[in-house]
Structure 1
Amino acid sequence: MTTTEQRDAFLQLGDHRLFTRSWTPSDPEASQRAPVLLFHDSLGSVELWRSFPEKLAAATGRRVIAYDRLGFGRSDPHPGKLGIGFVADEADSVVPQLCDRLGIGDFIACGHSVGGGMAIETAARWPELCLALVTIAAQTFIEDRTLAGIRLAQRDFQDPGNRARLARYHGDKTPWVLDAWIGTWLSPTFADWSLDRPLAGVRCPVLAIHGERDEYGSTRHPQRIAEGRGEALILPGIGHVPHREAEGALLAAIAGFLAAI
């Protein structure tokens, strides 16, 4: 049975610290394989990936690295309001610094929800380094279903209990995290956002995974991501969080895809 070594680190990127966690399989060949870089969703963090990263490392025989974006989890608070170009900015400015600090050369980009968008931007921005792209429940444009889901969540987070549960992961940063998601996505200035440009620049193999019952986006998104680039995998009966709802199926799909990389 493959075991993994877990390691936490705070990395200084400019004026701010980001929290990272890596899982390295005991397999001696793991160091020869490109690691998987995980991008979390709009309310996510390293901890909210739960058991998925460790199991992904074991299933793929690759080092897996997750990090809390600035303003999230155990990383430093964000100094201001989230910019409208935040999805592309993550790929442009944060990813190269992370790779430099962590000694990463080639890598696999894998992201959930808006993190999937960041993975797409990363694959397009760094084609010489990104060997493969995996998206999980990613959105590629502003869809009515996405906005309806966010408005419903906005009402749900009026409940102090729901906000308290989120605060277990983000602490005092929770109000900022909620505004960074709800305020940004519902803003009229974000209404024209899409990933058409970066998708046109993706050159690596692609696996776009999506739940059939995803409450934040239709299956049009994985179809657009995979079109002419790879495979769209629709998970029957699954919603927006496949790594919690169908972890085994998700792991098997990604491991099978990456076996050829």
Structure 2
Amino acid sequence: MTKLAPSGHLTIGDHQLEYRMIGSSPAEAPTLVLLHEGLGSVGLWGDFSDKLAAATGAGVFVYSRAGYGQSSPAALPRKVDYMHREALDVLPRVLDAIGFQRGLFVGHSDGASIAAIYAGGVPDHRIRGVTLIAPHFVVEDISVQSIAAIKQAYETTELRAKLARWHKDVDNAFRGWNDAWLDPAFRSWDIADHLAYIRVPVQIVQGTDDQYGTLRQIAIAKAECYCPIETVILPNTGHAPHREATEATLRAVSDFANRLLQDHGEAVRGDAA
């Protein structure tokens, strides 16, 4: 496996997926794979990915799913099971393409749901644990209401122009996510059954003021999971803890990763967070 360049594109099926690699390559050191939110991308992680690499010493791999960032567009409309497809069809090929050997997933929102589906659906001994930031396991009324509101904002305010800074095909990114969540069939979307099959420690980071989900998501995880669960509830924090409460989120995620890597004799802790 050729060492990954610091940034570029991976060819995965018919798509070119934008990526960024920080620190050691997956063939050389444990790697934290970051999975972005429903309107996220490589760029929208900001410097959180760099800070996470510094706080753990692990490599950090970030990529934009098809339709997001500088990746090639996705076919629309997305199916209701699009997160299952990302977790079970695409993500395994991404891990193979980068030569992933061992590490953790850090997923946010849709990315957290994708991480949970993978961890519960793919028997992969390389995964040491998963951090789920503002995950969705079921669809709540608050989620649909907020997603309907952001659709109106996209059509009537400067939101589209702001998002266009981060996505080369902003309509593909927005419509792919927004239309899927507002599809009436999506109200029955439920991945709680995957949680019972996760066999590695899980960390859930949730803001008390999350406009897209409530603490019910944590209650579902505690009821369904047999694996160890750690929860970090951040007050006065919305749907993006890594942007709104960066230091607290960084400390929690890096401490969790460092402990698990140490438990496997793979600790490579870097600078203090």
Do they fold alike, i.e. is TM over 0.5?
A: yes
The question of 1:237 aligning with 2:233 is answered no
User: What is the TM-score when the length of structure 1 is the normalising length?
Assistant: 0.91
Among 125, 139, 152, the alignment partner of 1:142 is 139
Answer with 220-229 or 202-211: which moved more: 220-229
Identity value in percent: 34
Q: Residue in 1 aligned with 2:91?
A: 95
- The structure whose RCO (Cα within 8 Å, separation 6+) is larger is 2
Cα deviation digits, residues 170-223 of structure 1 (max 9, x gap): 13x211222222211111111110111211111100100000100000011123
Residue of structure 1 equivalent to 2:69: 73
**Runs of 4+ off more than 4 Å:** 30-33
Q: Does 1:132 align with 2:129?
A: yes
What's the offset of the Cα at 1:33?
A: 4.5
Deviations 1:213-250 (A, max 9, x none): 00000011123234543112110110011111111101
Q: Partners in 2 of 1:183 and 1:203 — Cα distance?
A: 33
- Cα shift at 1:119: 0.7
User: Aligned residue for 2:255?
Assistant: 256
Q: What RMSD in Å do the two structures reach over aligned CA positions?
A: 1.9
| Partner amino acid, structure 1, of 2:22 | W
CA drift at 1:123: 1.1
Q: Give the alignment partner of residue 81 of structure 2, picking from 36, 61, 85.
A: 85
Determine if the alignment matches structure 1 residue 109 to structure 2 residue 105: yes
With 67-76 and 225-234 compared, the bigger mean Cα shift is at 225-234
8 Å contact from structure 2 (residues 192, 221) kept in 1 = no
Aligned residue runs from structure 1 range 205-224, under 5 A: 205-224=201-220
**Which one is further off, 70-79 or 226-235?**
226-235
Q: Which amino acid aligns with 1:208?
A: I
Paired residues in the alignment total 253
How many Å separate the matches in 2 of 1:91 and 1:183?
Answer: 20
Gaps of 5+ in 1: none
Following superposition of structure 1 onto structure 2, how do residues 6-17 of structure 1 map, counting pairs within 5 Å? 7-17=6-16
Match of 2:160 in 1: 163
Cα 1:25–1:11 shift into 2, 3 Å:
closer
Query: Shift in Å at residue 31 of structure 1?
Result: 6.7
What TM-score does the superposition give when structure 2 sets the normalisation length? 0.87
Note if contact 1:37-1:66 (Cα within 8 Å) is conserved in structure 2: yes
Query: What is the alpha-carbon distance in structure 1 between the residues aligned to residue 13 and residue 152 of structure 2?
Result: 36
